[in-house]
A and B are shown apart, each in its own frame.
Chain A
Amino acid sequence: MKLHIGLTGRGGYTVALVLAVAAPLAVYPVFLMKVLCFALFACAFNLLIGFTGLLSFGHAAFFGGAGYIAGHVLKAWGWPVELGIVAGTLASSVLGLLMGSLAIRRQGIYFTMITLALAQMLFFVCLQAPFTGGEDGQQGVPRRRLFGVLDLSSDINLYYVVLAIFVAAFGLIVRIIHSPFGQVLKAVKENEARAVSLGYDTDKYKLLAFVLSAALAGLAGATKTVVLGFETLTDVHWSMSGMVVLMTLVGGLGTLSGPIAGAIVIIALENKLGDLGAWLANATTVEWFRTLGESVTIVSGFIFIVCVLVFRRGIVGEMGGLLAWARPKAGAQETASAPAGTVRA
């Protein structure tokens, strides 16, 4: 038996899928679902930054905005689950269209600042609007039955539904990247002027990428609302936008599976830092580790710094780099990763 370690391959995704299907046996399903939602959020975000080169610092607007819409229609209007999620996704697409058409007009840091400002506006709208519940948030969003048949109050049932949503959305992203549309996006990222000179209306492409990214981020947000049963201002706050940047950066900008790895790491960190601290404290008898649980912000910030300074390709990017180095005679390999460090100016 030969052990081939390659960078492509359906094999890899199959292994991941098997793990995902089996996971609820060992791990708390609600936690897994949360990870899946954030992974989708990060993948959607990565579509914009990793493959189109646009850094949006306001993606929480789509994530939380869709969550609020879904929560409202599910709870106050009594819509069925599938329609609620669709409603949320549609809402974030519209929001993406509005925000994108305003933001696309500018480049680089100005683009980022516009997304930040527009997202803040949405935050304050959500703070004031009666249907969001303001500081209280929306509570008690019901799960009910999928298509009137599958009882979602069981965490296991819901998990497989969420997994299916995730796989479908991820598959869509893969298709987008490998399509001619995706190639144009890549061209826009590497050299927009050249793409324009070749006759592409880059603004339209950028806007479409923005809307797609917003739609998928909204799908993630709406699904999360159904899973957890509530929606609060945390999901539209700019620190959530920062968090998705962190996840994508940690996992690997411009790689397909990077954001998934990044989401797993960051969510696990958030939830398990306390346990990790207790374990470290017991293992090393250094009592200070026990307070690690309260220090999620510090650890996240630290990871951010490390990633920006030395670890720019993220987990998946670095592993890809390492494997390439380990097999020098492998020849040209198809990678999905962008050249390290190029974020579009």
Chain B
Amino acid sequence: MEIFGIPAQALLSQLLLGLVNGSFYAMLSLGVAVIFGLLNVINFLHGALYMMGAFLAWMGLNYLGADYWIMLIAAPLLVGTLGVVVERSMLRWLYKLDHLYGFLLTFGVSLVLEGLFRSFYGVSGQPYSVPETLSGAFNLGFMMLPKYRAWVVIASLVVCLSTWFVIEKTRLGAYLRAGTENPKLVEAFGINVPLMVTLTYGFGVALAAFAGVLAAPVVQVSPLMGSNLIIVVFAVVVIGGMGSIMGSILTGIGLGVTEGLTRVFYPELSATVVFIIMAIVLMLGPAGMFGKEK
């Protein structure tokens, strides 16, 4: 069966793969959007911390014998703590300045982190195997879908939707959103805004590390894995609307699927399509598709 001259099998398989990639984009851009929403900082560090999450999973397995499931919890916690340290010691001095300085600072820290991992591990990837319980594949007829990739989609959807729910529908989320709009007023109500900000940053980067652990069996655990992704993640965040949670989730998944489609019809364009969309969206309005102008 052919659709637009491409066999349905090829189309569906690329779409499914695109969905998997989209899940990663969604999770990473969610973290960036959350951090931007509250701190007004474009967190360049996100890519490096995603990489660190994957490396912690690998290190945990190879040095401590800690398996995938343990690291899935432990890595985000560790990276979240590191995020808190970075925020407390460096980022908070820059809030009163133009938020481009925050961007530049996180860029600098990401260089240091990547450089450190590169000097110890080189640039080629370390292999990380799929955990036993998730190995094997579903035979879908038109392709074999490894069980692990299905798990990735489910896990990231669960995490993304829960985050969205907490931020949009709960009281804690309400405090966060209020803190974004008017921190002084919120502080006057007795809420510890600086603490909230710090914890939000920690949570955002913990999300990145979670994505990293999820990614470890899929891509090769390499110090460059973050920098390859981060620019695309920025584009996703901008398209979705810089502070909008649901915007990033939907755009992330949408973009993964779009890339998959592009790969079928016009493979050379698949890397650029996200930037083209971003440029168009920004031309039409700075707030992206779901966001509000800041």
A: residues with CB less than 8 A from B are: 55, 102, 105-106, 108-110, 112-114, 116-118, 120-121, 124-125, 127-128, 238-239, 242, 245, 249, 291, 294-305, 307-309, 312, 341-345
- The answer to the question of B42 belonging to the interface, with a C-beta cut-off of 8 Å to chain A, is yes
Give the distance in Å from the alpha carbon of A238 to the alpha carbon of B232 in the complex.
Answer: 12
A301-B115 contact, Cβ under 8 Å, with A121-B279, A308-B101: yes
Complex contact A301–B283 (CB within 8 A): no
Q: Which residues of A contact B272 (CB under 8 A)?
A: 120-121, 124-125
Give the distance in Å from the alpha carbon of A159 to the alpha carbon of B242 in the complex.
Answer: 47
Q: Which residues of A contact B286 (CB under 8 A)?
A: 106, 110
Cβ proximity bits B16-60 to A, threshold 8 Å, 1 near / 0 not: 000000000000000000000000001000000000000000000
B: residues with CB less than 8 A from A are: 42, 90, 93-94, 97-101, 103-105, 107-116, 118-119, 227, 231, 234-235, 238, 242, 268, 271-272, 275-276, 278-279, 282-283, 286
Give the distance in Å from the alpha carbon of A110 to the alpha carbon of B293 in the complex.
Answer: 11
A242-B107 contact, Cβ under 8 Å, with A298-B116, A309-B93: yes
Complex contact B107–A304 (CB within 8 A): yes
A-B contact pairs, 26 of them (CB 8 A): A105-B283, A110-B286, A113-B238, A114-B278, A116-B231, A117-B234, A117-B282, A120-B231, A120-B235, A121-B279, A124-B272, A249-B104, A291-B119, A301-B113, A302-B112, A303-B108, A304-B108, A304-B111, A305-B90, A308-B94, A308-B104, A309-B93, A309-B105, A342-B98, A344-B98, A345-B99
Write the nearest CB–CB distance from B249 to chain A, whole angstroms: 19
Q: Which residues of B contact A238 (CB under 8 A)?
A: 231
A295-B271 contact, Cβ under 8 Å, with A302-B108, A308-B104, A344-B98: no
Q: Which residues of B contact A305 (CB under 8 A)?
A: 90, 105, 108-109, 112
Looking at chain A's contact residues, the main secondary structure is helix
Q: Which residues of A contact B104 (CB under 8 A)?
A: 245, 249, 304, 308
Complex contact B98–A345 (CB within 8 A): yes
Complex contact B101–A120 (CB within 8 A): no
Q: Which residues of B contact A297 (CB under 8 A)?
A: 111-112, 114-115, 118
- What's the A-B contact tally at a CB cutoff of 8 Å? 122
Q: Which residues of B contact A294 (CB under 8 A)?
A: 118-119
Closest-by-CB residue of A relative to B111 is A301
Give the distance in Å from the alpha carbon of A296 to the alpha carbon of B104 in the complex.
Answer: 18
Complex contact B99–A298 (CB within 8 A): no
Complex contact B282–A110 (CB within 8 A): yes
Q: Which residues of B contact A110 (CB under 8 A)?
A: 238, 282, 286
List 8 additional A-B contacts (Cβ < 8 Å) besides A112-B100, A242-B107, A344-B98: A105-B283, A108-B98, A110-B282, A113-B282, A298-B112, A298-B116, A302-B108, A341-B101
Give the distance in Å from the alpha carbon of A342 to the alpha carbon of B283 in the complex.
Answer: 27
Give the distance in Å from the alpha carbon of A110 to the alpha carbon of B288 in the complex.
Answer: 10
Give the distance in Å from the alpha carbon of A345 to the alpha carbon of B99 in the complex.
Answer: 8
A120-B275 contact, Cβ under 8 Å, with A109-B100, A305-B105: yes
Complex contact A341–B111 (CB within 8 A): no
Closest-by-CB residue of B relative to A103 is B282
Write the nearest CB–CB distance from A138 to chain B, whole angstroms: 20
Q: Which residues of B contact A109 (CB under 8 A)?
A: 42, 99-100, 103, 242
Give the distance in Å from the alpha carbon of A122 to the alpha carbon of B64 in the complex.
Answer: 44
Q: Which residues of A contact B97 (CB under 8 A)?
A: 341, 343
Closest-by-CB residue of A relative to B239 is A117
Closest-by-CB residue of A relative to B288 is A110
Give the distance in Å from the alpha carbon of A198 to the alpha carbon of B236 in the complex.
Answer: 38
Closest-by-CB residue of B relative to A312 is B101
A106-B282 contact, Cβ under 8 Å, with A245-B104, A341-B97: yes
Among A109, A242, A345, residue most surrounded by chain B Cβ atoms (within 10 Å): A109
Q: Which residues of B contact A245 (CB under 8 A)?
A: 104, 107
Q: Which residues of A contact B268 (CB under 8 A)?
A: 128
Q: Which residues of A contact B278 (CB under 8 A)?
A: 113-114, 117
Among A105, A116, A128, A239, residue most surrounded by chain B Cβ atoms (within 10 Å): A116
Complex contact A301–B110 (CB within 8 A): yes
Give the distance in Å from the alpha carbon of A342 to the alpha carbon of B116 in the complex.
Answer: 31
Among B93, B104, B115, residue most surrounded by chain A Cβ atoms (within 10 Å): B104
* 4 cross-chain pairs, A with B, having the tightest CB-CB distances, nearest first: A301-B111, A304-B108, A297-B115, A298-B115
Q: Which residues of B contact A341 (CB under 8 A)?
A: 97-98, 101
Q: Which residues of A contact B275 (CB under 8 A)?
A: 117-118, 120-121, 124
Give the distance in Å from the alpha carbon of A286 to the alpha carbon of B76 in the complex.
Answer: 35
Complex contact B105–A308 (CB within 8 A): yes
Give the distance in Å from the alpha carbon of A303 to the alpha carbon of B107 in the complex.
Answer: 11
Write the nearest CB–CB distance from A269 to chain B, whole angstroms: 13
Give the distance in Å from the alpha carbon of A124 to the alpha carbon of B268 in the complex.
Answer: 9
Q: Which residues of B contact A117 (CB under 8 A)?
A: 234-235, 238, 275, 278-279, 282
Q: Which residues of B contact A114 (CB under 8 A)?
A: 278-279, 282
Complex contact B103–A298 (CB within 8 A): no
Q: Which residues of B contact A303 (CB under 8 A)?
A: 108
Give the distance in Å from the alpha carbon of A112 to the alpha carbon of B105 in the complex.
Answer: 15
